[in-house]
Amino acid sequence: MARTRKIGAVPVFLAMLVAGSALAAGPAKLKVALTFDDLPLNGTLSQGAKQSDYARDTVAVLKKHRIPPSYGFINAKKLERNPDAALGLKIWVDAGHPLANHTYDHLDFIKNSVEQFQREIVRNEPVLELLMPPEFAMGQFNWRWFRYPYLHEGDTLEKRRAVRVFLATNGYRIAQTTLDFGDYFYNSAHARCVTKQDAESIRWLRESYLADARAFMRYQVKLSRDAFGRDINHVLLLHLGSFSSHILPDLFKLLKEENFEIVTLEEAQSDPIYDIDPDVADRGGTLTDLVMKSKNIPWPPGEPSNPSERLLAICGDGPLDSH
């Protein structure tokens, strides 16, 4: 007896198989770019350390973990009478990581005029032109990215719009952030604890850093979904300093656990949400923060905070670190 063929059974089976495989693979990964502010150094040095040591150790970690080229945003004033700081930037670039503009002296736009702020941007450019080799300029990486110090984009609409026009006219793109957990608090704290050889405090710094990172990332991913109505590509704000090379391997593991895939800044900001100008005058914040303010979206409960007072006091008193 001839068998009766069941039309459509095979395609249906294959469709079910594909759907099952997609479910087994889990949700799509979230793309995130790593960016490092305040190069050549955020925070203070531990006893006997050099700025170039931190750069060398950090790029070695980035290479070991096959991290894509990641932008370092520089304040060129830190190079004055400091050849080791210049060496640190050269080490960064020689390792394949580009540099970009963070103003000459980490100027706070809220406390200064449009003209002063624009001069600080231009004053930072000669070092960028000198250090960024031709292969960067001819390739996909360009030093004309700008990161606002303190994420302060202007306390009045007039100031904010004026600098945005200036940046666009001079070929800059704004390097936004969507993930920020105040990691700058940890660099000077770590340097002090290394100087004191306080292993117990260093262990607490590691635990606190990772707890902060996880809590803030989860909360800020939720904010981004509220603000944009979908998952977006993210940009993570980090700072190069004493703690960087020690904590980054654990941070990379955490990012993987939180379903992130590390990409370049160019790829992350290819997401159309980075074309949005919230056009709000505010003290600052991430792009998500500004968009939520522009749309009058309320912040959900449960916003995390980091232990800033303890971080400033641990292993001896220290000034508030710039970021």
Q: pLDDT for 229-265, tens place per residue?
A: 999 999 999 999 999 999 999 999 999 999 999 999 9
Q: Which residues of 299-309 are buried (b: 16+ CB within 10 A; e: fewer)?
A: eeeeebebeee
Contact 127, 76 (CB under 8 A): yes
pLDDT at 164 over 80: yes
* pLDDT-derived band at 138, boundaries 50, 70, 90: low
Kindly give, in sequence order, each residue whose CB lies less than 8 Å from that of residue 316, ignoring residues fewer than 6 positions away. Answer: 192, 196
**pTM, full prediction:** 0.90
Give the range among 21-30, 98-107, 153-162, 311-320 with minimum mean pLDDT.
21-30
Distance CA 101, CA 309 (A): 30
What pLDDT is attached to residue 133? 78
Domain ranges of the chain: 28-313
pLDDT at 320 over 50: no
The one-letter amino acid at 172: Y
Q: What is the CATH number of domain 28-313?
A: 3.20.20.370
Kindly give, in sequence order, each residue whose CB lies less than 8 Å from that of residue 110, ignoring residues fewer than 6 positions away. Answer: 150, 152, 154, 155, 283, 284
What pLDDT is attached to residue 134? 74
Looking at residue 235, the DSSP 8-state letter turns out to be E
Give the HSE-up count for residue 104: Cα atoms under 13 Å, Cβ half-sphere: 14
Mean per-residue pLDDT, 42-59: 97
**Looking at per-residue confidence, does 15 or 193 come out higher?**
193
* pLDDT-derived band at 27, boundaries 50, 70, 90: confident
pLDDT at 214 over 60: yes
Distance CA 166, CA 163 (A): 5
pLDDT at 319 over 60: no
Q: What share of the chain is helix, strand, coil (3-state, %, to 5)?
A: 50, 10, 40
Q: Could you give the percent of the chain with pLDDT greater than 90? A: 85
What pLDDT is attached to residue 282? 83
* pLDDT-derived band at 317, boundaries 50, 70, 90: low
Distance CA 137, CA 302 (A): 44
pLDDT at 18 over 80: no
Contact 93, 135 (CB under 8 A): no
What pLDDT is attached to residue 25? 57
